[in-house]
Chains A and B, each alone.
Chain A
């Protein structure tokens, strides 16, 4: 006599699997990737909306610098073509860039080709994707700078079948993760043409009965928030001034 409990589990399991198969979503990996990206962006958008309602984004407390995505694309394009080697065996050549600032997310898409030293006839069309990160005031010049960070790679091979397949596998294996980081580090920092003075100076002066002693102030400018929206990258800055030692030779 079959065990009733076991019989029940088996029947119930078959029913579950059947129903599950019928209800299973029909989208493939691309749909899944798009859904993940959309949900991530929506989380960021909800955060921005909540922050905007509290006057925390593009607020009246920050100086805002807005940079069109076309300018950033042109700045990235200046660094191209970029040729790099990964693991000493695979040569990359990144040739074009596209930049999009939408929905709270910055997207940088760079396209090019890769080939393996051992099988140079096997080329792979390469798309690496990432975003703009590390926006900061750089150097003594007081310019805004930013870096490209890469987090995804798509490969489409061409050339001989066997060698192509191997190249694709090698690329995915070696470039993903630390390889992408290493590739991104070879893209020079982007210098945004906006400069902030670090020091404000006032010469000594006399106007009628009023005499003013010379003075120097340190201007502190720090990046507080970066928001990608509506085709622009908005960099929000905390700005304040504080006295330095008086300098009789200060000039402005």
Chain B
């Protein structure tokens, strides 16, 4: 009985010891280890294939150091940079002239020509604030094509309006000719235009430089006359005799003025008006904060690749300790 008990205890201890040995000390046999290695290699190959496809790494130049900027990041950061850099952009126009002439025909005791008018608007100054929208980018070769919406958000103008009226027939006899000049003012009517151009990329030293290629752009800036201006035009008409008022209202002076100003002034924005040369804010170069160390570091750009989804640039970097002779001559790079 006692022996049996001892045998049971011994068996339990042996079993426990065997379990602990297998759990914490013994490793897999050769076949299981080989299977693990095969599974590991297959899984690694699968991951590498997936990541090469997903990251576009296959397009990257063969380099010691690579920097890859996805198109999506370039667009987002580009929008942030544009919004930040172009927060205060002013359009200032001086000495703009708008002229309109026409005959006025109306029914006044039969359809007839009432006269001829001439509007000469001289805007001494128009100032407007520009607000950029979110740019759209697309990569093609060494070009980053850009479509940048720009809104003429607010602004004002002032100047002089010369109105000349050469009455004909009865209207001429009643009104005579008019030649008057008014001080006018107005506000710029907001509108959005899209500037299209590109940045051409090239490697320069340790980074990428983007040079703008935007052409001239013609932009129309419409102006809405102020209340005071309308009042002055209305006063011009209301001070005439009843028949003359009828003739001038038939000429619809206010509508002519609105039409002339509403078509706006056409402004030519010069090439690259809103774009500047930029350097990518990431450079492959020797750290300058390092304490003095006898090292040679050589950085040679190895190329720029622009794929539809990502921009890659890289460099071959050689790092080594200086030889004794090099140390004696002084460290390089």
Determine if B64 and A70 form an interchain contact, defined as CB atoms under 8 angstroms apart.
yes
Chain A nearest Cβ from B192, distance in angstroms: 16
Judge if B169 is at the interface, Cβ distance under 8 Å.
Answer: no
Q: Which residue of B lies closest to A52 (CB)?
A: B50
Told that A25-B26, A195-B283 touch, could you supply 14 new A-B pairs with CB distance under 8 A? A10-B11, A13-B14, A17-B11, A26-B30, A31-B28, A45-B43, A53-B50, A63-B69, A78-B320, A192-B287, A208-B270, A215-B85, A215-B86, A240-B77
- Give chain A nearest CB distance to B282 CB in angstroms: 5
- Enumerate chain B residues within 8 angstroms of A16, measured Cβ to Cβ: 11, 15
Number of interface residues of B (CB under 8 A): 93
Of the 9-residue stretches B53-61, B99-107, B109-117, B179-187, which lies at the interface with chain A? B53-61
Most chain B beta-carbon neighbours within 10 Å: one of A59, A77, A194, A234:
A194
Task: Answer whether A58 and B54 are a contact pair too, CB < 8 Å, given A21-B18, A28-B26, A33-B27.
Answer: yes
Residue B235 at the chain A interface, CB threshold 8 Å: no
Taking a contact as CB atoms under 8 Å apart, the answer to whether B43 and A42 are in contact is: yes
Q: Find out whether the CB atom of B84 lies under 8 angstroms from the CB atom of A241.
A: yes
Contacts of B285 in A (CB 8 A): 193, 195
| Residue B153 lies at the interface, judged by CB distance under 8 Å to chain A | no
Is the Cβ of B90 less than 8 Å from the Cβ of A210? Answer: yes
A46 is an interface residue with CB less than 8 A from chain B: yes
> Which of chain A's residues have a CB closer than 8 A to the CB of B1?
2-3
In the bound assembly, the distance between CA atoms of A60 and B54 in angstroms comes to 8
Pick from B7, B69, B287 the residue with the most CB of A within 10 Å: B287
A3 contact set on B, CB distance < 8 A: 1, 4
CB-CB < 8 A to A20: which residues of B?
15, 18-19, 22
CB distance from B127 to the nearest CB of A (A): 10
Contact of B89 (CB < 8 Å), options: A6, A33, A210, A219: A210
Residue contact B32 to A25, C-beta cutoff 8 Å: yes
List the 5 closest pairs (A to B, CB-CB), nearest first. A32-B27, A58-B55, A13-B11, A31-B27, A27-B27
Name B's A-contacting residues (CB within 8 A): 1, 4-5, 7-8, 11-12, 14-15, 18-19, 21-22, 25-30, 32-33, 36-37, 39-40, 43-44, 46-48, 50-52, 54-55, 57, 60, 63-73, 76-77, 80-81, 84-93, 130, 267-270, 272-274, 276, 279, 281-290, 293, 295, 297, 299, 309-310, 317-321
- Residues of chain B contacted by A197 (CB below 8 angstroms): 281-282
Chain B residues positioned under 8 Å from A211 (CB to CB): 89-90, 92
Q: Are A24 and B22 in contact (CB under 8 A)?
A: yes
